[in-house]
Structure 1
Amino acid sequence: MARGSRRVRGKRRSRKRQEVWGWGAAGAVVVAVVVVRFVGDHPGWAMGMACLLVVMVAGGLVLRHRVIQAARQRFLAANAELEKVDQMSGTEFEHLVAERMIADGFRQVRERGGSGDGGVDITAVAAGHGRYAVHCKRYSKPVGAPDVRNFLGALANAFAGHTGILVTSSRLTKQARLEALGAREPLILVERDRLADWLLGSASLLPARSARMLTEEEAT
């Protein structure tokens, strides 16, 4: 009985599929007939619609090409910036970050330097966002958890009340990222990819500017 019922259900499903295909084919024939009659009765309109379709397709292809080219240019520019960074010393990298912070809208940007800075290389202020402490790592290897813990210690003591920003030319290890994001006051992380966007001016570390730039990018 079970096998018989399954066969019946299978036949019903097959019949329904055939009916759907049949109705679809009939609909396609009707549409084709209507289009042919319309073209025959209104050749001018048909020609105009055909031209409009061609223009729309061509415009879409041109737009797609421009988007691809723009993305390619951004990719090449980002790589060029990162190649420059990779040739810098730690001090030069700190200076670059400080300059970019000024361009980004930070004020009272001060390079601290030295080995007794508790991991803080730059301090700055942003109107409406308080004080910031920045730790720069011009590394070729990933930044590890000990570096993050050292920086968090400075933020909890000598630089209490500052928002921490960790900027690196490399990336963080998984454990380092977990510690950075799991802190009482999560760090702002600027790893390699985000660093490239920031250096090119297409990203910001200030929340208000970052949101505005994202909105403008979506609009374009």
Structure 2
Amino acid sequence: MTNTSSGSGTNARPREWRFVWRHRYALVLAMVVALMVGTWVALSAARPLLWVAAALVAAALVWWARARMRLAREARALALVDLSEVDRMSGTEFEEHVAGLMRVHGYTAVTVVGGAEDGGVDVLGRAPDGRKVAVQCKRWNHPVPPNEVRALIGVLSTSYRDYQGMFVASNGFTEAAAREGEGHMVLVDRDGLARWMGGTDVPEPPRL
């Protein structure tokens, strides 16, 4: 974890305002829609269904705002993590870390499915372009060997045929493993993970 000073709390409000500024157009649109719906309901107070519609619209706007704020908080938390902390994570923590990176960089429907019965896949999600992605995560102290890559290729050709593959390894891959995965999936090694965490290079599944 990178060092944080006692003044970090004073930066929370500016960060929230930066979030508001980045999403200003969407927020303005939401307020305009809410105002229009409110006016419509006020002019049609005798129609109970309009009140129901207004309540649903308001609930949707609240849900959207809360989801965006939650994503912004997760992005800030992930920004405090460096590779030295990744090296201290458990396998489960690393899976959650990768899932968080996916969410804050445009992946949707992200679900951690790792465990004893994961079938070789730890995280599922959809890439920004809508393609389904199956991710294997290895928080090992040594490079991933080729047999692990071959195992994921096998899973992608059977249980997850309509998914694109991604393999994230905190300590990279052997040369043989990298050759094995070429053309079958995207391999995220230690350097690639660092770039992803820094927001400079977001991995996307290959178009096979």
- Per the TM superposition, whether the score is higher than 0.5 is yes
Q: 1:172 corresponds to which residue? A: 173
Q: 1:190 corresponds to which residue? A: 188
TM-score, with normalisation over the residues of structure 2? 0.58
Q: Contact between 2:167 and 2:188, CA under 8 Å: does it hold in 1? A: yes
Aligned counterparts of 1:206 and 1:178: Cα–Cα separation in 2: 18
Q: Contact between 1:121 and 1:136, CA under 8 Å: does it hold in 2? A: yes
Which structure has the larger Rg? 1
Aligned counterparts of 2:146 and 2:89: Cα–Cα separation in 1: 23
Q: Percent identity?
A: 40
Q: Which runs of 5+ in 2 are unaligned?
A: 1-78
**Alignment map for 1:58-137 (pairs within 5 Å):** 81-137=82-138
TM-score, with normalisation over the residues of structure 1? 0.55
Residue 192 of structure 2 aligns to a residue in which SS? helix
Q: For 1:175, give the aligned amino acid.
A: A
Aligned residue pairs, count: 126
After TM superposition, what 4+ stretches of structure 1 lie above 4 angstroms from structure 2? Answer: none
**Alignment map for 1:197-216 (pairs within 5 Å):** 197-206=195-204
Q: Contact between 1:130 and 1:162, CA under 8 Å: does it hold in 2? A: yes
Deviations 1:98-122 (A, max 9, x none): 0010001000000001122221000
Aligned counterparts of 2:114 and 2:127: Cα–Cα separation in 1: 20
Aligned counterparts of 2:168 and 2:128: Cα–Cα separation in 1: 21
Question: What's the C-alpha RMSD, in Å, of the aligned pairs?
Answer: 1.7
Q: For 1:188, give the aligned amino acid.
A: V
Shift of 1:146: 1.1
Q: 1:147 corresponds to which residue? A: 148
Q: For 2:159, give the aligned amino acid.
A: A
Q: 1:15 corresponds to which residue? A: none
Structure having the higher helix fraction is 1
Shift of 1:129: 4.0
Q: 2:75 corresponds to which residue? A: none
Aligned counterparts of 2:180 and 2:157: Cα–Cα separation in 1: 14
